[in-house]
Amino acid sequence: MHEAGIAAEILEIAQAQSALLGGARVAEVTVRVGDMSGVAPEALEFAFEALREGEASGAVLVIKRIAVLARCETCGTDSRPGADLVLWCAVCGKPLKVLEGEELMVESIELEGDAE
Amino acid sequence: MSGRVAVETPVLKKNDEYAAGNRRWFAELGMAVINIMSAPGAGKTTLLEKTLPMLAGRYSCAVIEGDLQTDLDAERIRKVGVRAHQINTTCCHLDARMVGGAVETFLESPPDVLIIENIGNLVCPASYDLGESVKVTLFSVVEGADKPKKYPKMFRMSDCVVLNKADLLPYSGVELDELLSNVRDVSPEAAVFTVSARTGEGLAGWVEWLAARVEKARGR
């Protein structure tokens, strides 16, 4: 599985933010993981905890899971396909465009440093 | 100082940037790049052994092979008279940087068509843009009709889904209609071909589709 690689990228993004603020401690990293992103949240948490070091050695990973949201560009109907993942419009029978649920984003990073 | 910084950065930004660089470079070279993904044993190399000779009269081709170990696949490709570069990586997928490095080995005479045989894995390769022009998922019918729903991302992202080992359908207990319907549900717009790379059944349609996409990618 590629969750270790994904966790390493997340930590690198967090370290870069920390460096911008003079090596502030990374307290928390919030990521958005789509249900259709191909990433398993449990495996990602495990890899993140195993790989964190330096300024991020105490960082907590917060995972926001994003359900699939799709829109029919023909009739404008939005829908949340269930576990059966039928990506066709139930109203007009046209293919749906996926708006949410495929993302893999670092949303925000909480940093802690010595107050001046 | 303390506080929360909104970064809104894609986790795979570094790979995405590398892939965008590859894409510009491949366009300058006039090279169509095809990324073929599947689970291990679905028949990627066999499909290439049959497809490459069918393209040979029209295009110069080269292949990048991704595997954890051995250069067995690159050897098989060379046997059909096509240049091949083997990447061995303990990674579960190829990324844009590995592919960029491999393309360097073909620069003396860049091919018209570069086919990347990704590492056998139905999950991870789907997350990594390589800068390719066309993504293809190969799936052998014997893997089961339910898999497109269980592993939707790769099917969804692909321009084409090739269902292989059609010759084994009578022994597989898999209903082709059910499999086709599951592929369609998750990937409404992909072209779908049912083939047997081993017997040659259905390959003409796939090769014709591929050639059309190659023309488009090369801006002809």
Percent of chain B with pLDDT over 90: 95
What range defines the domain where residue A30 resides? 3-67+101-112
Whether A38 sits inside 8 A of B153 (CB atoms) is yes
Mean pLDDT, chain A, as a whole number? 93
Report the 10 Å Cβ neighbour count for B173: 9
Alpha-carbon gap, residue B141 to B165, rounded angstroms? 6
Chain B contacts in chain A segment 37-76 (CB below 8 A): 37-39
* Structural domains counted in chain A: 1
Give B114's strand partners: B33, B62
Cα B90 to Cα B105: distance, rounded to the nearest angstrom: 21
Pairing of strands A25-34, B61-67: unpaired
d(CA B38, nearest CA chain A) in Å:
14
Query: Domain range spanning residue B151?
Result: 13-217
Of A63, A45, A67, A33, nearest in space to B12 by CA: A33
DSSP code, position B176? H
What's the CA gap between B182 and B36, in Å, rounded?
20
Q: How many domains is chain B partitioned into structurally?
A: 1
Q: What is the mean pLDDT of chain B?
A: 96
Q: What is the CATH number of the domain that holds B20?
A: 3.40.50.300
pLDDT tens-digit series, residues B72-100: 999 999 999 999 999 998 888 999 999 99
Q: Write out chain A residues lying below 8 Å of B4, CB-based.
A: 28, 108-111
Segment B186-213, tens digit of pLDDT:
999 999 999 999 999 999 999 999 999 9
ipTM of the complex: 0.91
Query: Does residue A10 form part of some domain?
Result: yes
Strand pairing report for B113-117 and B32-37: parallel
Name the token pair of B3: 């506080």
The CATH number linked to A55 is 3.30.2320.50
The closest alpha carbon to B2, from A43, A112, A4, belongs to A112
Residue identified by tokens 């960029």 is B100
